[in-house]
Structure 1
Amino acid sequence: YLRYAACFKNVSLNEQKCADKYRTLAELFRKENEGDDDVNKGLRKWCCSYSSFVHCQNNHVAQYCGKQAGIFLRSYMDRMTGPLIHEHCPLYTYGLEACTTNIAA
């Protein structure tokens, strides 16, 4: 991980890459304790935002950090969050209708 960490950070925080998706996800984490009365709405927001961020990273990392970094990131993310995402977010992944309609709704 440390071999690619600086490039991953650049992709995540660069305004022309994934910064907007990173900020959205960070804001959802920050607001986690404020509570959303509708658990499904909150889950949808979180899952769609996370999925969008990971999709963005996957699109940019191989291009800017190298093919091996892209392969590593996919494997790393699947090991780190895969089981939780597959269990809690199967209806809310990048590209599905649930995530392409207005998430704030």
Structure 2
Amino acid sequence: MQCARPLSILTDSGLSFVTTKEDLDRTCPSFQEALKCIRAYTRRCMSYDQRKHFKKLFHGTNLMVHELCKNGTYQEEYLTYAPCMKEVESQTKVCFTRYAEAMHDIQTKTNLEEEREEIMDTDIFTYEKRKRETADKGMRDVCCAFQEYLECSSSSTRKQCGEGAEKFSRKFLDQMSSALIRNHCHEYSPQVCGIDASPGSGSMILPSLTMILISLSHFLR
């Protein structure tokens, strides 16, 4: 969707370049225009049920833009932590690189397993069972890779910016995370994934939600 491009700043960079009130004042009109454009698109091109589902998935982004772009506590809190979070960006990019490589490996491995299952001479019941098992494992791998990324990047935030910044980033993450991710990854906590995570870990700089959504949708087919 062309008009959603300005919002990719939120999901792909975590606003790492916006560190002052002047930056927000300059950027927020683009965010608000994007939201207006998206609402018009959904009214024009989606059915009622599709709009209802999309609104649920997009609620966090809409709320975050509203809170961030109005003068108030949330905006003040963000501007307090933003300069330090920008300094952490280079460290979290290392975490993201590892995450992107893991996602690529998961996708490649899953595709190979699916191709192998398709050429095996098995009955339809066995085929569907194996296909479901492959999808379940793929879902777990995607969600655990995401959890590992969060702990890696939040560790950097804690060390350099303190617990206050980490708590704020958790709030940002909760709002920006798609409902699709929350609904399908809630079973895979850091403990389930074997990750030594601190309570409330999160990061201001998110990996591309588009990447996660595409990967999850592959296993939800």
Are the structure 2 counterparts of residues 56 and 41 from structure 1 closer, same or farther at C-alpha, using a change threshold of 3 Å? same
| TM-score, L = length of structure 2 | 0.35
Q: Rg larger in 1 or in 2? A: 2
Residues in 2 aligned to 1:64 and 1:71: alpha-carbon distance in whole angstroms: 13
Q: Is the 8 A contact 2:91 2:156 kept in 1?
A: yes
2:194 match: 100
Residues in 1 aligned to 2:147 and 2:156: alpha-carbon distance in whole angstroms: 14
2:90 match: 10
Whether 2:106 is the aligned partner of 1:27: answer no
Are the structure 2 counterparts of residues 33 and 53 from structure 1 closer, same or farther at C-alpha, using a change threshold of 3 Å? closer
Residues in 2 aligned to 1:90 and 1:55: alpha-carbon distance in whole angstroms: 15
| TM-score, L = length of structure 1 | 0.65
Are the structure 2 counterparts of residues 66 and 29 from structure 1 closer, same or farther at C-alpha, using a change threshold of 3 Å? same
| Superposition misfits of 4+ residues, deviation over 4 angstroms | 31-35
For structure 2, the 5+ residue unaligned runs are: 1-14, 20-81, 115-133, 196-221
Higher helix share: 2
Among the aligned pairs, what percent are the same residue? 23
1:40 match: 136
2:38 match: none
For structure 1, the 5+ residue unaligned runs are: 14-18
| CA positional deviation for 1:54 | 0.9
